């Protein structure tokens, strides 16, 4: 499942290539035809991500809400602005057109010069198209057009996201304190609470496992059994990891890497994490085999020695 950093990158892509335009909005597969008709030709005013959800606000007070879920992804095609410093993806109209897929991972490739706008491929739920750029959505869990009040109600149900301005989420001047209060009042295991989007928004399986390892915290510990300062440290660490993921497009969670090691990990995913995806492999700190088990239907990775 795409985690919070990916959705923030998608929001930034829309901000660079669609905000201020009046995209043609269609539903090539037909399942979203009515919703597409509501926002077709309207100016896109803003693009924002909160946790794992994307909110595209159009004139007239209409909001396209998208939750990618487990399998959803956006394809951006045509003149696609680079998000990363030093990116080879060209943005100008005269440069090679590209296809960039943004979901659980990111892929980019050049399009043929005469291949624009391309025909929809597969089950495209919704297509937004300007004269220069196309965005195709496939496989989302949620895709709906809301009025401003309904969109605000969705936002109210989400926990804090450290990459979101306070005024977007109710003006909370210290969202970290809210997370601390929520977690330390609950009997639910911390490993489950961090995946609860009503507690803290944007954390998925990878970040959950890595944050708990970095805190050297047993994922089975009840929330009310975790010291407030530890919860606050996890929130602060989440803010750092999220910002890095948004900047690079990669979930790189090891803080022990030097510049060369980090460069290698950006290329080789097997070097990026402390415990996630490493079941049965030796812990990078103590050498004990990393354990995997299920918690609330999702795989949970941890070191039984470092996190006891």
Active site residue 52: yes
Cβ contact 97:109 at 8 Å: no
Sign of the C-alpha dihedral computed for residues 194, 195, 198 and 203 taken in this order:
positive
From the CB of residue 250, how many other CB atoms can be counted at a distance below 10 Å?
Answer: 18
Rounded Cα–Cα distance for residues 97 and 105 (Å) = 20
Marked catalytic residue, from 12, 247, 254, 298: 298
**Cα separations in angstroms, 109 against 14, 145, 247, 276:** 19, 31, 20, 28
Active site residue 162: no
- Crossing angle of helices 228-248 and 205-214, rounded to 10°: 130
Tokens of 162: 């450290």
- Crossing angle of helices 228-248 and 4-17, rounded to 10°: 40
Q: What is the DSSP letter of 189?
A: B
Among 6, 106, 11, residue whose Cα is nearest residue 49: 11
Q: Containing H/E element for 57?
A: strand 53-58
Marked catalytic residue, from 9, 23, 52, 138: 52
Q: What is the DSSP letter of 62?
A: E
From the CB of residue 68, how many other CB atoms can be counted at a distance below 10 Å?
Answer: 27
Active site residue 110: no
**Cα separations in angstroms, 297 against 40, 103, 192, 197, 221:** 39, 21, 10, 15, 18
Q: How many helices (H) and strands (E) does the chain have?
A: 8, 12
Active site residue 96: no
Catalytic residue positions? 2-3, 52, 298
């Amino acid at each position: 499942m795409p985690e919070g950093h990916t959705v923030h990158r998608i929001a930034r892509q829309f901000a660079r290539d669609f905000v201020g335009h009046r995209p043609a909005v269609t539903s090539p597969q037909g399942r979203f035809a009515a919703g597409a008709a509501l926002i077709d030709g309207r100016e896109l005013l803003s693009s924002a991500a909160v946790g794992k959800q994307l909110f595209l606000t159009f004139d007239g007070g209409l909001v396209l809400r998208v939750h990618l879920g487990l399998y959803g992804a956006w394809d951006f095609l045509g003149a696609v602005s680079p998000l990363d410093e030093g990116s080879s993806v060209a943005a100008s109209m005269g440069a090679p057109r590209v296809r960039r897929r943004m979901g659980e991972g990111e892929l980019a490739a050049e399009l043929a010069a005469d291949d624009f706008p391309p025909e929809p491929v597969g089950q495209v739920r919704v297509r937004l198209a300007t004269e220069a750029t196309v965005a195709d959505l496939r496989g989302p869990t949620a895709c709906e057009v809301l009025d401003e009040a309904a969109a605000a109600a969705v936002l109210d149900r989400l926990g804090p996201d450290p990459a979101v301005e306070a005024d977007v989420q109710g003006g909370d001047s210290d969202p970290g304190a809210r997370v601390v209060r929520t977690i330390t009042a609950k009997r639910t295991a911390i490993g489950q609470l961090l995946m609860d989007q009503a507690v803290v928004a944007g954390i998925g399986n990878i970040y959950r496992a890595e944050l708990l390892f970095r805190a050297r915290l047993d994922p089975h510990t009840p929330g009310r059994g975790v010291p407030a300062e530890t919860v606050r440290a996890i929130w602060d660490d989440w803010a750092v990891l999220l910002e890095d993921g948004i900047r690079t497009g990669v979930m790189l969670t090891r803080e022990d890497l030097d510049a060369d090691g980090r460069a290698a990990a950006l290329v080789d995913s097997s070097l990026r994490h402390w415990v996630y995806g490493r079941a049965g492999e030796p812990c990078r700190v103590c050498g004990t085999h990393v354990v995997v088990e299920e918690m609330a239907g999702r795989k949970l990775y941890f070191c039984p020695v470092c996190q006891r």
